[in-house]
Structure 1
Amino acid sequence: MLDLFADDEPWQEPLAPGAVILRRFARLHSPQLMAAIHDVAARSPFRHMVTPGGYTMSVAMTNCGALGWTTDRRGYLYAPVDPQTGNPWPAMPESFQRLCDAASHAAGYPDFAPDACLINRYQPGAKLSLHQDKDEPNLAAPIVSVSLGLPAVFQFGGLTRSAPLQRIMLEHGDVVVWGGPSRLFYHGIQPLKDGEHPLTGGYRYNLTFRAAGYYE
């Protein structure tokens, strides 16, 4: 396996109660992760979804796992079928599952069992406005978010949109995990700046693992 960052050691950086940044955690396995992303996208292509308000998202998206997150003018939902292809979303790659399991254990959430992985692709200028991840019925489960490629400024706030924001640079291989008291904190990504990464070219990719099924 190609190792682009053999001399980098991961470390943990506290972010908020229940939230931590695992710096460089995914770097060693990033070539495997990118190969899996391309395989998923070959079956469920990236697309720019339209929000209920009619806004076309600047971030291109696809999904893998038992469920996938979609949005249209009617609302947001998780569904087992890709509405663009009419087929089930691709299964979650083993490399994704292994990384998510290791990251959630390292962050103190050993029982996390994701059934959905959102894959976002950012090109320069793309952003993700402040929002809460609240479409999941099981809010006791954390979010695991993996950054690959170009660096981006991650905004992490509080339980209201007007809460003070932390602005943190996320680089290739960084993993952010948040849950517990921070599970519904507002967060977003500032517009991506131009750049070139040896593995991803002019893009940033983000994997977001969630427990989206309807649990009792």
Structure 2
Amino acid sequence: MSNKFFSVSVTNISVAILTTILISACAGNRIVNNDAPVEQLQDLNDYDSDGVIKAREKCDNTVLGASIDNYGCGNQITKMEPFKIKINFANDSFAIPDNAYDKIRVLADFLKENQEIKVVIEGHTSKVGKVNHNQTLSEQRAKAVVLVLIHDFKIPAERLDYIGYGFQRLEDERQTEEAHAANRRIMAELTHTEHLDEMEWTIYSVDQEL
């Protein structure tokens, strides 16, 4: 027997043995069929596109692009809004003119529509007379408006408060009759907590603020 023939025979035998081992190994393994679908117990959809899945969502319908927490909710903030009531008080008087009731009604209707809102009525005077007298007068003007809201428009007293500023916060600094009339005014400062959709900062935010 030649060396060449012996080499080929050994090679053929080795291949046959290796093939047998591989077939035996594969035959011993169980084939797993994964055709059956896996049941998903949680809703992984993000219906309002805010990056929070439904399974964790606590605030639906978030405004697109709003800054939110891990539960898809925006921030709760206290918002202050000035509400000016133009009442032309007579000089050195806190009597509310008849034509002012329609203006107070606008505020009353707003408070009835927004039951969570409270209001602080601010009284102001012109810069005529002594400081102490004007301070008292401004408080009396503010209180007079509060009483109208309570008795005439049935706004609960616990939602109302008042403060007088005298002539500390003049609207018009001029010493004219027109300026004095403008300074004898009532302001209503509204306080309420609302769900505010604070928008996330993007590269376009600067342009939007310009």
The answer to whether TM tops 0.5 is: no
Higher helix share: 2
Which has the greater radius of gyration? 2
Q: TM-score scaled by structure 1?
A: 0.22
Q: TM-score scaled by structure 2?
A: 0.22
